A and B are shown apart, each in its own frame.
Chain A
Amino acid sequence: MPILNNLMQQLVNGLALGGIYALIALGYTMVYGIIGMINFAYGEIFMFGAYAGLVLALTNYVNVYTALLGATLITMILGVVIERVAYKPIRRSSRLSALISAIGVSIFLSSFMVRVKGPNTRGFPTLFENRIFEIGNFQITIYQIVIIGVAGLMMLGLHLFVTYTKMGRAMRACAQDKDAASLMGVNIDRVISVTFAIGSGLAGTAGVLAGIYFNAVQPYMGLLAGLKAFAAAVLGGIGSIPGAMIGGIVIGLTEILGITVNLSEYKDAFAFAILILVLLFKPSGIMGRKANKKV
């Protein structure tokens, strides 16, 4: 059954790509859920994570886990700093000014990277040997296993964190009603910082994974990846954590599907075409709850 095998193969490829999108999408969705802001700089944080991983990987003593961990920590700090410097002062202004500020941050980050590391695409050093496993008639590479595994673990961790910890409960409370949460003694600033740290860390991890997977790192890689991940977050229902995961995987799968049916020139358009279609029929996204407007 070649078709079925092919389908399984594409499913694996799509899951790996979708896992990366899902990790970035989680950051978008968490920040949106809590402060209702589109953090457009997430794509650049992803890019920063990739470069951090690259720099770490180039030092001799580092293996893949420390590279991942290091990049994650660096982007977490970066995310918190960005929030404090560029977003916190305008939290009470219109969402458009926050949007422009975020755009300013992303221009800064990518041009900073051009300045420091040059504008060209860099390869990623091999941190471990890539091997190909044959399962039945389709193949899965170690890289793919690592990506799907790491992405899955992080999502599970995030889910447990949000569901069972005190901080997670505070985050959910803020997402529902910031003012009420604040009255109940939740430290909003802390919650927002933690949200940014976690979201940025996820994007940083995704950056390293993408660097390994595609063997390419580039200062402007964050733009399109960020846009697609944002599309994934909206597709899944912005503000919803399971939605972001589903959205990421759907976007990854459709992109791979587009390549399979020989429309790879259009692969970048697929994510957005799907997004627009979903929005038109279910404006709140797949997992989003319908906003019930009372007048």
Chain B
Amino acid sequence: MSLLTLDNVTIRFGGLTAVDTVNLEVKQGEILALIGPNGAGKSTVFNLITSIYQPTEGKISLDGKALTGIPTHKIADMGITRTFQTIRLFPELSVLDNVKIGAHCRGKAGLLQAFTRLPSMKREEAEMEENAIKALEFLDLDAKKEDMAKNLSYGEQRRLEIARALVSKPKILLLDEPAAGMNPQEKVVLMEMIRRIRDTGITIFLVEHDMKLVMGISERIAVLDYGKLIAEGTPLEVRSNKAVIEAYLGSGKFKSRIRR
């Protein structure tokens, strides 16, 4: 069953077509990876799904509801949260606050509640804190909850971003290069964490360069090159796909294709 659907999605920046008529379905409960050389348009796909960019053409929908035209801040509430390729935490706030803010869309308290501190608001706060701590425990960060986010190590910051995205209990989690900058041990732990997140019923859609990780956890892989989807299938299928080998596995290395 398809949870997230990209239907002929295209975006152009001036003369550059960063994403070119992409059709893609993310199925309920799967781990889907999007791979491709640098500059292929992978992050742009995530920015389109989260409404940070609006597609020039095409439609994106979640559970049949159109996402196009909906402002970014409503996307989280609909059940899509994400991490960023370049870490975007709230650096001067505590780890716990970072995660609590991640649960923003699940809270209701407004100004009136802030100023009156009625029992209902206290209950919501307590619940939020409890969920935040659970998310931190899940990503093995609970010991650092009082630290400022900027003081965490690189790998910890990546995990904190996942915790922040997870605490609102999304239907689908978008991870943009979650293993970037991690050492091999951290990567193994991360792989395990991603699996466990999926086992709680959250669909995973990730962009990643580390082939070991991608081949290890994805059930399906989609390959993007110059904005076009050139292959889609199981890791085995993609690995033996001619176009893919030609486009980028064949060279044995990642070719950078940053286009201007």
Contact = CB atoms under 8 A, between A and B. Distances in A.
A–B direct touch, CB within 8 Å, in complex? yes
Nearest to B84: A295
A295 B13 CA distance: 13
B52 interface: yes
Interface residues of B, number: 6
A205 to B, nearest CB: 40
B54 interface: no
Contacts of A292: 13
Contacts, number: 6
Interface string B42-63: 0100010000110000000000
Nearest to B53: A295
A292 B47 CA distance: 14
Contacts of A295: 43, 47, 52-53, 84
Interface in A246-295: 292, 295
Interface in B21-53: 43, 47, 52-53
A82 to B, nearest CB: 30
A292 B52 CA distance: 13
A97 to B, nearest CB: 15
A295 B43 CA distance: 8
Contacts of B53: 295
A240 B38 CA distance: 33
Interface in B57-103: 84
Contacts of B47: 295
Interface string B176-214: 000000000000000000000000000000000000000
Nearest to B176: A295
Contacts of B43: 295
A228 to B, nearest CB: 35
Contacts of B84: 295
Nearest to A293: B52
A292 B13 CA distance: 10
B239 to A, nearest CB: 30
Nearest to B86: A295
Contacts of B13: 292
Nearest to A292: B13
Interface in A2-53: none
A291 to B, nearest CB: 13
A146 to B, nearest CB: 45
Contacts of B52: 295
A247 to B, nearest CB: 26
A93 to B, nearest CB: 14
Interface string A156-192: 0000000000000000000000000000000000000
Nearest to B13: A292
A292 B16 CA distance: 14
A139 B52 CA distance: 56
A216 B223 CA distance: 71
A295 B53 CA distance: 9
B46 to A, nearest CB: 9
A295 B87 CA distance: 10
B112 to A, nearest CB: 31
A119 to B, nearest CB: 43
Nearest to B50: A295
A221 to B, nearest CB: 40
A295 B86 CA distance: 8
Interface string A67-106: 0000000000000000000000000000000000000000
A295 B18 CA distance: 13
A292 B53 CA distance: 12
B224 to A, nearest CB: 17
B221 to A, nearest CB: 24
Interface in A115-132: none
A193 to B, nearest CB: 32
Nearest to B46: A295
A62 B20 CA distance: 70
A10 to B, nearest CB: 40
A292 B84 CA distance: 18
A295 B84 CA distance: 8
B235 to A, nearest CB: 28
A295 B52 CA distance: 8
B258 to A, nearest CB: 11
A215 to B, nearest CB: 52
B227 to A, nearest CB: 15
A295 B85 CA distance: 8
B18 to A, nearest CB: 10
A292 B14 CA distance: 11
A143 to B, nearest CB: 48
A292 B43 CA distance: 16
B113 to A, nearest CB: 31
6 contacts: A292-B13, A295-B43, A295-B47, A295-B52, A295-B53, A295-B84
Leading 3 A-B pairs by shortest Cβ distance: A295-B47, A295-B52, A295-B84
